[in-house]
Amino acid sequence: MPLCEYFLASEAELTSVAEEGAPSDGLIKVDAKGFDVVPVESLANRLGLDDAVEAGEPTVHGEGFEWFAQRLTPEMVTALASLDEGALQEHARALIETPEVEWPEGDLIQLLKTLSEMAQRAQREGKALCMWVSV
1 compared with 111, residue with greater pLDDT: 111
Residue with the larger pLDDT of the pair 75 and 18: 75
Angle, helices 85-95 vs 105-125, to 10°: value is 130
Question: Looking at residue 104, what is its pLDDT?
Answer: 93
Looking at residue 67, its pLDDT comes to 96
pLDDT value of position 100? 87
The fold of 3-134 is Hypothetical protein yfbM fold (3.40.1760)
Domain map of the chain by residue range? Answer: 3-134
Question: In terms of C-beta density within 10 A (0-12 exposed, 13-18 middle, 19 or more buried), how is residue 76 classed?
Answer: buried
pLDDT in tens, 61-112: 999 999 999 999 999 999 999 999 999 999 999 999 988 899 999 999 999 9
- Measured in residues, the chain has a length of 135
Residue 58 has pLDDT above 80, yes or no: yes
